[in-house]
Amino acid sequence: MAHIALIGASGNVGTRILKELSDRSHRVSAIARHPEKIQAWPGVVALKGDIGDEAALAALLAGHDAVISSVKFLDSDFDRLTGAVRAAGVKRFLVVGGAGSLEVAPGQRLVDQPDFPAQYKQEALQGAVFLDRLKAVDDLDWTFLSPSALFVPGERTGTFRVGTDQLLSTASGSSISFEDYAIAMADEIEHPRHSRRRFTVGY
């Protein structure tokens, strides 16, 4: 059983990760701007936190075995977020990533394709920058988990593929449910296989 801090615990993805961790009997500090929105599952403590206040966030993160960030990249400040993790003395840092930086062909990112949805492009580009900056970090044991192109609510099947930097797809497209993504994130916490690396999951 691990003691995990989850930033952005009330969001679509954060909620699924929180439920998965609770179901596996981990203790979770669920951090959000509106903690009243957080589900009262076993082992979960809801905390009010602002990712813009590095010192206050560090105080919330102290004493945990791992930190997960499930916050939109456009709402994040890389330096403040990683600075808070460092100041808290937590080494394990996992990030809910995006699909945009995955390759669809050698040297060709999904986000750079002409049919990439315009409404998601800035978030995807910021996620790519976040990943590039993480790659230069050597004092945190980080992991960046990218979903597939279609990332939506769905079933918890427990059946999916794991990849590295290439977009996973089938004849019917590229997708993963929030629920199965949460399984992959919890698995990585329990059995780390992607230290200082990005990986991806999809059907």
> What is the pLDDT, as a whole number, of residue 131?
98
pTM across the whole model? 0.97
pLDDT at 9: 97
Identify the structural domains of the chain with CATH numbers, from first to last: 3-202 (3.40.50.720)
pLDDT the model gives residue 60: 98
The whole-number pLDDT of residue 122 equals: 97
Amino acid 31: pLDDT: 98
Specify which residues 29 forms β-bridges with: 5, 45
Q: Which two tokens stand for residue 108?
A: 């060709």
Provide mean pLDDT across the span 28-46: 96
Give the DSSP per-residue string, 52-102: T-HHHHHHHHTT-SEEEE---GGG--HHHHHHHHHHHT--EEEEE--STTS
Question: Rounded to the nearest 10 degrees, how much is the dihedral formed by the CA atoms of 67, 174, 157, 16?
Answer: 30
The predicted structure's pLDDT at residue 118: 94
Confidence of residue 86 (pLDDT cuts 50, 70, 90): very high
Contact 72, 60 (CB under 8 A): no
Q: What is the pLDDT of residues 47-76, one digit of tens each?
A: 999 999 999 999 999 999 999 999 999 999
- Residue 110: its pLDDT value, please? 97
State the pLDDT at residue 33.
93
pLDDT in tens, 145-179: 999 999 999 999 999 999 999 999 999 999 999 99
Q: What is the pLDDT of residues 103-150, one digit of tens each?
A: 999 999 999 999 999 999 999 999 999 999 999 999 999 999 999 999
Element (H, E) at 199: strand 197-202
Pairing relationship of beta strands 161-163 and 27-32 according to DSSP bridges: unpaired
